[in-house]
Structure 1
Amino acid sequence: MALSSQFTRLVRFVPRSSAAFIFIGQPVDASIDVGLAVRRGEEVRVEVFSGSSVLAAGSATGKFDTIDRILSPLSADEVGTIRCIGLNYKQHAAEVKMAIPTIPTVFLKPNTSLGDPWPAPTILPKLTQETDTGDYESELAVVIGKAAKNVSEADAIDYVLGYTAANDISSRDSQLSQSQWCFSKGFDGACPIGPVLVSKELIPDAAKLTLRGLKNGTILQDCGINDLIFNIPKIVSFLSQGTTLPAGTVIVTGTPAGVGMGRQPKETLRAGDEFAVEILPHIGTLVNVFENEV
């Protein structure tokens, strides 16, 4: 049976009415870019849903509140592990001079790497600071809505709850000195996601989305999701073979060309930098501001 949702765009947030609560709800203005609006200090009104999680959002209650602090759509204890696809854009493979893979390259991030959008700080570990090799990766993230195992490509989207934005923050010195990527990409807070989870009904074809990455307002990544080497159904199906993907699993699907390590001169992330991942239409902008671990 296909998974259906009763929402179009959900946010998880701390309301202005009480810092002691976390609500799930739907922005009243269907066109608002929640991430940018919150960053600009604009009021974002939300209709509160009856559920306590995007995995079981319930229904609209007719009650309204205003966002005080935006959170990642899922909490760390809901995501289990974060499944990541490396080298999954044709343009990116070309810029790093690597062959197009024939099967998806998979690595994992722990749930401790899940991070919130701004105003929560995004921390650059001491290890990354020492080598000045912090890097960004703008990505489309997929959220699984029901347990998936051994699913076909034809049925894969039935298991998808929705889509959001992610930044696969990396420490390149650590990454390039090892054959496995989990350590260099798995630091605390190294996978901020959000701010909005958009239902698959609103995005029936993710390949029609466009993605941009902006550092301090300068566009460094700009690509259509149609440049993916392995599309969303292929990724979900592949990851589910012999492996249960529980509801809440987050899949980050790869980054396009323009990452810092591939630029001349190189771009790195430092304390005070703002990085925005913009996915249009519907998803909007994930904004993160970086601070040094002390």
Structure 2
Amino acid sequence: MKFVTFEKDGQRRVGALRDDDRIVDLTPAVGERGLAAIIGAYASLAEPIAAAIETAKETFDVNDVTLRAPVDRPPRNVFCVGKNYHEHAHEFAKSGFDSSAAAGAVPAAPIIFSKPPTAVSGPYADIDVSLDPTGTVDYEAEFAVVIGKAGRCTDADDPWSFVFGYTLVNDVTSRELQKHHSQWLLGKGIDGFCPMGPALLTRDELPVLDDLEITCEVNGEVRQRSPLKNLIFDIPTLIRTIGRSISFEPGDVIATGTPAGVGIGFKPPKYLKPGDIVTVAMSPIGALRNRVV
């Protein structure tokens, strides 16, 4: 199932995508709650949701609504993973912007940081580079995991049991702020610097992940391309690393890292500038398409 959060006639609503271009409005079946709350109560809502999809007589064209991030109000900061593809770890270490490079290009354990909920924006929202005073805004295409179960992930737990579904994010970053402050929150937590979506695909729709390929294009030029099997630390490892001591909440998002090809990997760097169009895509989730302003 593909869930979306959308805006119609000024109202925020939750829906399910049918044939990728028609939306079934689930709001009458689930109430005015957001998708994070629906995920938390999914055991009791799965049946009415399925019935609403089956019996829907009216659907909306996806082009007639405004799509928002599927989890547009995360319960807390988005968990993010740094340097989680070998080639990107090396390009970042060589860039001069990596405050962790002294410990080695490839990390020995997952590097976890976060982006605040205010960084989350829609799949077609503008990226406002004026919010970065240094003019060094970069892109990072990432596959994201959405958590569906509360609690800590102990050694006895199956990490996959915590996964509700998957979406995409662009971990937009001010490189100079990231470098200047050593820790990454200020460089990556800027308002709107986490486009997300366009849909949340439930785990059962993607039983095998390794060969799924994530790409990023800037103005039609392919900058990033990699299958998920190239992750240094796989999804179960990331869930165990975070969930061993931090209790998960339904609707938590984990961005799993970006492959090589980011702007700072070029000489000179290829930073984003007003007028650029950044497209992060993976089939069958869809594509983020964000204009830089």
TM-score band, normalised by the shorter chain? Answer: 0.7 to 0.9
Letter in 2 for 1:206: L
Q: 2:35 aligns with which of 54, 58, 83?
A: 54
CA distance in 2, matches of 1:151, 1:47: 37
CA distance in 1, matches of 2:228, 2:288: 17
Match of 1:140 in 2: 143
The TM-score with structure 2 as length reference comes to 0.85
Q: 1:181 aligns with which of 184, 209, 212?
A: 184
CA distance in 1, matches of 2:234, 2:202: 18
Cα gap change, 1:90/1:153 in structure 2, threshold over 3 Å: closer, same or farther? farther
C-alpha root-mean-square deviation of aligned residues, in Å? 1.7
* CA distances 1:189-218 after superposition (whole Å, capped 9, x unpaired): 111110110011011132221000000111
1:103 and 2:105 equivalent?
no
Q: 1:131 aligns with which of 134, 139, 143?
A: 134
CA distance in 1, matches of 2:210, 2:151: 22
What pairs up with 1:142-221 in 2 under 5 angstroms? 142-152=145-155, 155-221=158-224
CA distance in 2, matches of 1:79, 1:153: 26
* CA distances 1:244-277 after superposition (whole Å, capped 9, x unpaired): 1211111111100000001123111111211011
What pairs up with 1:31-110 in 2 under 5 angstroms? 32=20, 44-49=21-26, 50-51=29-30, 52-55=33-36, 56=38, 58=45, 59-60=49-50, 61=52, 62=56, 63-67=58-62, 68-76=65-73, 78-97=74-93, 98-110=104-116
Q: 1:22 aligns with which of 12, 32, 36?
A: 12
Letter in 2 for 1:235: L
Displacement of 1:154 in angstroms is 6.0
CA distance in 2, matches of 1:116, 1:9: 16
What SS class does the counterpart of residue 204 from structure 2 fall into? coil
CA distance in 2, matches of 1:152, 1:254: 24
Contact (CA 8 Å) 2:4, 2:16: kept in 1 or not? yes
Displacement of 1:109 in angstroms is 1.0
CA distance in 1, matches of 2:119, 2:134: 20
Displacement of 1:74 in angstroms is 1.1
Match of 1:37 in 2: none
Contact (CA 8 Å) 1:153, 1:237: kept in 2 or not? no
Displacement of 1:131 in angstroms is 2.8
What SS class does the counterpart of residue 292 from structure 2 fall into? strand
1:10 and 2:3 equivalent?
yes
The number of residue pairs the alignment matches comes to 263
Displacement of 1:178 in angstroms is 2.4
Contact (CA 8 Å) 2:154, 2:244: kept in 1 or not? yes
Contact (CA 8 Å) 1:112, 1:188: kept in 2 or not? yes
CA distance in 1, matches of 2:264, 2:279: 18
For structure 1, the residue ranges without an aligned partner over 5 or more in a row are 1-7, 33-43
Displacement of 1:177 in angstroms is 1.7
For structure 2, the residue ranges without an aligned partner over 5 or more in a row are 94-103
CA distance in 2, matches of 1:20, 1:175: 36
Contact (CA 8 Å) 2:15, 2:24: kept in 1 or not? yes
Contact (CA 8 Å) 1:88, 1:230: kept in 2 or not? yes
Cα gap change, 1:79/1:123 in structure 2, threshold over 3 Å: closer, same or farther? farther
Displacement of 1:9 in angstroms is 0.9
What pairs up with 1:255-274 in 2 under 5 angstroms? 255-274=258-277
* CA distances 1:118-140 after superposition (whole Å, capped 9, x unpaired): 1x3221244x2x43210000000
Identity %: 34
Decide which structure has greater helix share: 2
* CA distances 1:139-169 after superposition (whole Å, capped 9, x unpaired): 0011111213133486111111100010000
Contact (CA 8 Å) 2:129, 2:135: kept in 1 or not? no
Displacement of 1:46 in angstroms is 1.1
Match of 1:283 in 2: 285
